[in-house]
């Protein structure tokens, strides 16, 4: 069959700069706020008129980082911890056509910008379409969900150490992330509680006899954490290695309390 070509109407800006830690589904991280930025030529204010009356919308996007990767017919879903199912029984981004579908909470429409929350998309994801959520058409109240029913997401307890809290104070003094501080904390906790590790890393939480440090990037901040049994401890925060803020603040120790 002949291919169909779709030109993005814009991109979405989200806290998730790396694949690692990007939630595997929408609504898993309610604090993940984002905004759709339309291409300049788009009549965005007209397109969006009336959408502010809805509480939720669908975002249809492109898993652009998986666009030219192979899409094996069987997938090992992370929370299954081993078993394999067909790709159409999963929401894996490795798909024959890597189309993303996310149910987003509408936070507000502001001129040409749509603000949403509960997002599971990588920063910069191209958006093809936006549709209102219609309960009459989109809600299956009596749904049965196969292997997923038997494999709920974990809800790991997440603790933030005092030193990480002090670091966060300092980060908010120097160059605050674009969300209020309490929301940033919720974002860290909600993102980690569903366990971002790949299946292969589950057993590798000790390295050279020490707890292995993992890094989650949110906006311009790297969040360092380790596993203590089934719990997650956030111990370190710094401006992200690949962010201009790293050069500016991290090298000269200005993140330390004076």
Q: Which parts of 48-67 interact with a copy of itself (CB under 8 A)? A: 48-58, 60, 62, 64, 67
**Shortest distance, position 125 Cβ to a copy of itself, whole Å:** 11
Query: In whole angstroms, how close is the CB of 82 to a copy of itself at the nearest point?
Result: 14
Contact set for a copy of itself, span 135-154 (CB under 8 A): 135-148, 152-153
Q: What residues numbered 2-41 form the site for a copy of itself, per CB under 8 A?
A: 2-9, 11, 25-28, 39
Cβ distance 232 to 192 under 8 Å?
A: yes
Q: Which residues contact 113 (CB under 8 A, 6 or more apart)?
A: 35, 36, 37, 38, 44
- State which of positions 77-106 bind a copy of itself (CB under 8 A): 85-91, 95-97, 99, 101, 103, 105
40-74 burial code (b ≥16 CB/10 A, e <16): eeeebeeebeeeeeeebbbbebbbbebeeeeeeee
For the bound state, the minimum distance from the C-beta of residue 178 to a copy of itself, rounded and expressed in Å, comes to 23
Q: How far is the CB of 225 from a copy of itself (least distance, A)?
A: 24
| Least distance to a copy of itself, CB of residue 20, Å | 20
Tokens 């309390």 appear where? Answer: 257
Q: Which of 20, 133, 215, 246 touches a copy of itself (CB under 8 A)? A: 133
Task: Read off the DSSP letter of residue 88.
Answer: G
Strands 56-62 and 99-110: antiparallel
- 108 touching a copy of itself, by CB under 8 A: no
State the CB neighbour count (10 A cutoff) for residue 165. Answer: 13
| 179, 184, 186, 191 alpha-carbon torsion, rounded to 10° | 110
Residue closer to a copy of itself by CB (options 6, 172) is 6
210 burial level (CB within 10 Å; 0-12, 13-18, 19+): exposed
- Shortest separation between residue 6's beta carbon and a copy of itself, angstroms: 4
């Amino acid at each position: 069959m002949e291919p169909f070509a779709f030109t993005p109407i814009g991109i979405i800006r989200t806290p998730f700069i790396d694949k690692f830690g990007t939630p595997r589904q929408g609504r898993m991280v309610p604090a993940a706020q984002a905004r759709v930025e339309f291409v300049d030529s788009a009549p965005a204010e007209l397109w969006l008129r009336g959408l502010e009356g809805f509480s939720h919308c669908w975002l249809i996007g492109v898993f652009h980082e998986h666009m030219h990767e192979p899409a094996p017919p069987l997938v090992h879903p992370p929370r299954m911890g081993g078993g394999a199912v067909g790709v159409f029984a999963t929401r894996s981004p490795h798909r024959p056509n890597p189309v993303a579908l996310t149910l987003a909470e509408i936070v507000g429409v502001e001129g040409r910008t749509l603000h949403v929350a509960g997002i599971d998309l990588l920063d910069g994801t191209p958006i093809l379409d936006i549709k209102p959520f219609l309960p009459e058409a989109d809600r299956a109240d009596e749904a049965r969900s196969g292997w997923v029913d038997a494999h709920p997401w974990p809800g790991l307890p997440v603790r933030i150490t005092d030193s990480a809290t002090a670091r966060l104070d300092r980060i908010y003094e120097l160059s605050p992330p674009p969300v209020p501080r309490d929301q940033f904390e919720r974002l860290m906790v909600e993102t980690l509680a569903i366990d971002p590790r790949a299946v292969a890393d589950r057993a590798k939480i000790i390295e050279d006899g020490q707890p292995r440090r993992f890094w989650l990037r949110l906006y311009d901040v790297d969040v360092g954490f380790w596993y203590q049994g089934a719990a997650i401890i956030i111990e370190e925060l710094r401006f992200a290695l690949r962010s201009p803020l790293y050069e500016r603040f991290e090298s000269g120790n200005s993140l330390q309390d004076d």
